[in-house]
Each structure stands twice: as C-alpha cells, then as structure tokens.
C-alpha cells in the first residue's frame, strides 16, 4: 500500500469519528432529553479525545513527511487534480492536533456541551449573569488555544481563520468598513419608506401545513431527502455532510415566514454539502472552503432567489392552496411586501436582509474588543445595547432580545459571525455573475426550474471543495475580487427600485 493510500485510510477513519461526533451534537439540539445533558457532556468529551488521538497519530506525520518530499505530486485515484490540497489540509490538521494537549480538547468539548444548556436556560429566563461564567471560560480557552498553536499575539485572527482560512481581522475590518460606510445610510433611507405591510398579516398558520409547504419548496430547490432530513430545534442549523445532511428549523403559527426562510437558508447549506464530491468527504477535495463560502450558498437561495418576485410568481399559488383562509384577503403585492419587509428588529435571525449585516458588524466589533481586553464579559449587555441604539436605533428590552439571542458563543464559535456578511457579499457577487452567464435564469426561476442555477453553483463553487480559500474562490468564480459593492447594488435594486 502506498504512502498516500495509508494516509487516505487514516483520513477516512478520522472522518467517520467526526461524523459520529456531529450526530451527537445534532441529537443534543433536537432530541436529547432535558435531564440527560450530563451524560452527553461525558460522551462528547470522550469522543473528542478519541478524535484528537487519531488526528495526532505519529504515523500521519511520517506519511506526510514522505508525501511532501515527492515531486511531482501523485494523482488521486478519483480526481484529475493533484493531491496537493489534501496534503496541505492534512498537514495543518495534524500540526494543530499535535500542539493541542488532550486535556485541552477534553475540557473544550465538555464546556461546549455544558455551555449550550446553560445558554438555553439563560435565554429562556433572561438571566445573563448565570451564563457569563461559561462565556468567560470559552474566551479563556480560545486564548489558550491560540497560545498552543502559535497565535498567542493575535488570538482573534485564529478564530476567524478557523472558520474562514485565508482571512484575518484586518481583511474583515477593511471589507466591513467599506460596507458600513454606505450600508448605514442606505438602511436608514429604506427604513424611512412607509411600511406597506399589515402588522397582523400572518397569524394562525397551522404548523403541519407550514411543514408540508417548506418540504415542497426545499425539495424543488434540489435538496436530496434520501441523504438528509429536517427537524426542529431552538436555533435553526445544518450539520453533517453530503452523505447524511441534518437540517433544523423552528415553527410559530403566527410567523410562517420564519420557518420557511430559515429552512431555505439551511437548505442552501445542505445543497453545498450534497454538492461536494461524495468520495472525498474525508479530505480537502470534499470539504467546504470555509463558512463564508458556506453562507454564500445559503444566502443566494434564501435572498436573491426565494425573496424575488419571480420566485413568488411561481410559488404564490401553491402558498395560497396551503393556507386558503389565511391568505384570502391578502393581495399579491401585500404578500410580496411582507416577505421583503424592512424593519428595526433586535433579533438577528429575524431581521431583514437590509439591516442584517449591521447586526453582524456589531458582533464583529464586540468580539474584537473582547479579545483585545477592551471589553469585559460583565459589561457585554450594556455595550451590546449601546451599539444597537447607535447603529440601528433599536432598544433591546431584555438580554434575551439582546446579547443572549445567539447560540454561537455557547460553542466557543468566536469569529464565526463575520462569515455571514462575507457570505452575503459573495452571494450577491455570484448572483450577478450567474445572471450574466445564464440568460434564462429569471425565466427558469419563474417556472420553478432551479436546476440551472444549482448546476452553475456546483461547477463554480461546490466541485472545488477546499482547494481554494474564500478570496481565491471568489476570483475564480466571478472574475473579480470580493467586494461589498455588489451587495450594495443588489439592495438598492431590490428595495429602492
């Protein structure tokens, strides 16, 4: 057996363990009995140590040394591309695993499980002080991880790089500053337009019909339910991989758009996972390029496609069949305006696409201050509320509406939030590139034919796996560098036309 074949076998083993860990995390947020959380903490910690041990296997280091000296690089059996990206990614994973003590990995896994349940309880009871110690522990562990991995002088850069390889704080700050300069006044201009949406338009929509309708929509977009499923959770998410993709949503009889668009959003993630090469899910060729790219795939379907008039020209009749009594007195224009309503909403996941990125900018600036020491955990609620008042003229009435609303920090996922806006930028850029290269795109969407766009995304994004990072992939897919100008253009065209 060649050195590459031996490495491939070990990567497959690690991937199998990681997929089991993913199922435990999915179960914890969907089906786990409330009083069983302590056992899940022990299970997660034990499995994390097993995965870490497999990643730090000295034989992997020996095999990588041998493969890195080979020139020219050999070819993989199932791909015409060189194994360079596979070796590069495996080397990074191995080096980081060998630098992290097993005790750190165990503590981090245990804290993630414990902090999730503490966050859920704190949000329900609007009790930030009970959650603050867990958040402090996560911040301390993030800085400790940076020390172990040689990023001690720039721990927040590491957090961003963990989610979006090739991106650092300076890059995010540059792009966000450009966006914020134009987006803040643009949002104010759009918000000043009198609302055309009745406040009680959506009430009493049966959940079983919501579920049937969103299943029809997500299937038509291309999600393969033979390789995936959708369930309910406190916070919608997508987990797993192309072989077994798990999505979740949440339901409210008085807010059917929340379940629908959160499902469409997660379907975008699922389509990306299902579009990655199935025989390479264990290596870089079958791995997503990063969370910014991942978010671009969810956002282009959620916003550019499924909030468009063209999409609703096709799906409005089906929506009315699903809810005939509730929509009997609602005109087509009222429905479209409600789907694209812009308002000052304190909750990020419920906000519109005009103000959404301002929510993300607040989180980026907050995290950066936490890591620099300019902001203490105890001062988070007051700082958070002040930022919302300044940038969005929103006054959160509780911490549940404010700093406790997101699940991310309970898993130590600092540096994740910038990915959402990076993804929004790329989604808009991809949208205009697709329009230029697919002349019948609008007509196809109007006919409920989403295959051409999905095939285009498969070719431009999905098939590349993690060969390229976000900035490289943007240029290859669109011919231009990543820029907020396309997102600003899109928002102006949709909301000021």
pLDDT digits (tens, 9 = 90+) for 368-390: 999 999 999 999 999 999 999 99
Write down all domains in the chain, each with its CATH number in brackets.
Answer: 3-153 (no CATH), 170-495 (1.10.1370.30)
pLDDT, position 350: 87
Confidence band (pLDDT; 50, 70, 90) for 413?
very high
Q: Average the pLDDT over each of 24-33, 50-59, 115-124 and give the range with the smallest value.
A: 24-33
**Choice among 114, 161, 266, 273 that is catalytic:** 266
- pLDDT grade, residue 195 (50/70/90)? confident
Residue 311 in this model has a pLDDT that exceeds 50: yes
**Inter-residue contact 303 to 429 (CB < 8 Å):** no
Average pLDDT, the chain: 94
Q: Report the C-alpha gap between 382 and 366 in whole angstroms.
A: 11
The rounded distance, in Å, linking the Cα atoms of 58 and 6 is 13
Q: Which of 34-43, 196-205, 441-450, 484-493 has the lowest mean pLDDT?
A: 196-205
The two structure tokens encoding residue 168: 């650092």
CA Rg, the chain, in Å?
23
Mean pLDDT of all residues in 338-362: 95
pTM: 0.93
pLDDT at 44 over 80: yes
Tokens 């007051």, located at residue: 382
Position 74 pLDDT exceeds 60: no
Residue 174 has pLDDT above 80, yes or no: yes
Residue 235 banded pLDDT, cuts 50, 70, 90: confident
Per-residue pLDDT at 198: 63
Determine the Cα–Cα distance for residues 473 and 471; give it in Å rounded to an integer. 6
pLDDT score of 77 more than 60:
no
Q: What is the mean pLDDT of residues 306-311?
A: 97
- Catalytic-residue membership of 59: no
Question: For the chain, how many helices (H) and strands (E)?
Answer: 20, 3
Give mean pLDDT, residues 65-75: 71
The one-character DSSP state at 284 is G
User: pLDDT tier at 10 (50, 70, 90 boundaries)?
Assistant: very high
Whether residue 71 is predicted with pLDDT greater than 80 in this model: the reply is no
Q: Is 70 exceeded by the pLDDT of residue 75?
A: no
3-state secondary structure of 247: strand
Residue 469: its pLDDT value, please?
A: 95
């Amino acid at each position: 057996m060649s050195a590459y074949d031996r490495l491939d076998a070990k990567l497959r083993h690690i991937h199998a363990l990681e997929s089991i860990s993913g199922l435990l995390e999915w179960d914890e947020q969907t089906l786990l009995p409330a009083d069983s959380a302590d056992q899940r903490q022990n299970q997660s910690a034990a499995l994390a140590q097993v995965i870490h041990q497999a990643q730090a296997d000295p034989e992997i280091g020996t095999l990588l040394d041998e493969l890195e000296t080979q020139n020219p690089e050999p070819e993989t059996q199932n791909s015409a591309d060189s194994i360079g990206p596979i070796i590069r990614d495996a080397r990074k994973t191995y080096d980081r695993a060998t630098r992290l003590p097993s005790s750190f990995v165990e503590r981090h896994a245990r804290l993630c499980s414990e902090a999730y349940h503490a966050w859920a309880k704190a949000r329900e009871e609007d009790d930030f002080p009970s959650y603050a110690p867990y958040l402090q522990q996560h911040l301390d562990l993030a800085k400790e991880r940076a020390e172990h991995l040689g990023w001690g002088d720039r721990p927040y850069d590491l957090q961003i790089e963990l989610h979006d390889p090739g991106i650092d704080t300076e890059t995010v700050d540059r792009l966000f500053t450009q966006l914020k300069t134009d987006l803040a006044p643009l949002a104010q201009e759009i918000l000043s337009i009198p609302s055309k949406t009745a406040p009680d338009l959506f009430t009493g929509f049966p959940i079983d019909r919501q579920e049937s309708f969103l299943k029809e929509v997500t299937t038509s977009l291309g999600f393969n339910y033979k390789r995936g499923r959708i369930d309910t959770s406190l916070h919608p998410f997508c987990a797993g991989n192309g072989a077994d993709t798990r999505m979740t949503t949440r339901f409210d009889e008085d807010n059917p758009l929340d379940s629908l668009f959160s499902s469409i959003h997660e379907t975008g993630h699922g389509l990306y996972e299902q579009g990655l090469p199935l025989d390479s899910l264990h290596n870089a060729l079958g791995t997503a390029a990063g969370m910014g790219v991942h978010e671009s795939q969810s956002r282009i379907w959620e916003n550019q496609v499924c909030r468009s008039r063209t999409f609703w020209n096709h799906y409005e009749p089906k929506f009315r069949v699903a809810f005939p009594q509730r929509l009997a007195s609602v005109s087509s224009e009222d429905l479209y305006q409600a789907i694209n309503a812009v308002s000052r909403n304190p909750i990020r996941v419920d906000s519109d696409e005009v103000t959404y990125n301002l929510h993300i900018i607040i989180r980026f600036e907050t995290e950066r201050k936490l890591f620099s020491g300019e902001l203490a955990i105890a001062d988070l609620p007051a700082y958070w509320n002040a930022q919302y008042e300044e940038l969005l003229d929103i006054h959160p009435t509780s911490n549940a509406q404010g700093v406790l609303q997101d699940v991310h920090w309970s898993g130590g996922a600092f540096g994740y939030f910038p990915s959402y806006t990076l993804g929004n930028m790329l989604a808009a850029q991809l949208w205009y590139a697709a329009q230029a290269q697919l002349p019948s795109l609008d007509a196809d969407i109007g006919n409920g034919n989403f295959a051409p766009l999905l095939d285009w995304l498969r070719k431009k994004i999905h098939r590349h796996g993690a060969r390229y990072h976000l900035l490289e992939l943007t240029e290859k897919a669109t011919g231009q560098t990543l820029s907020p100008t396309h997102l600003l253009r899109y928002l102006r065209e949709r909301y000021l036309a």
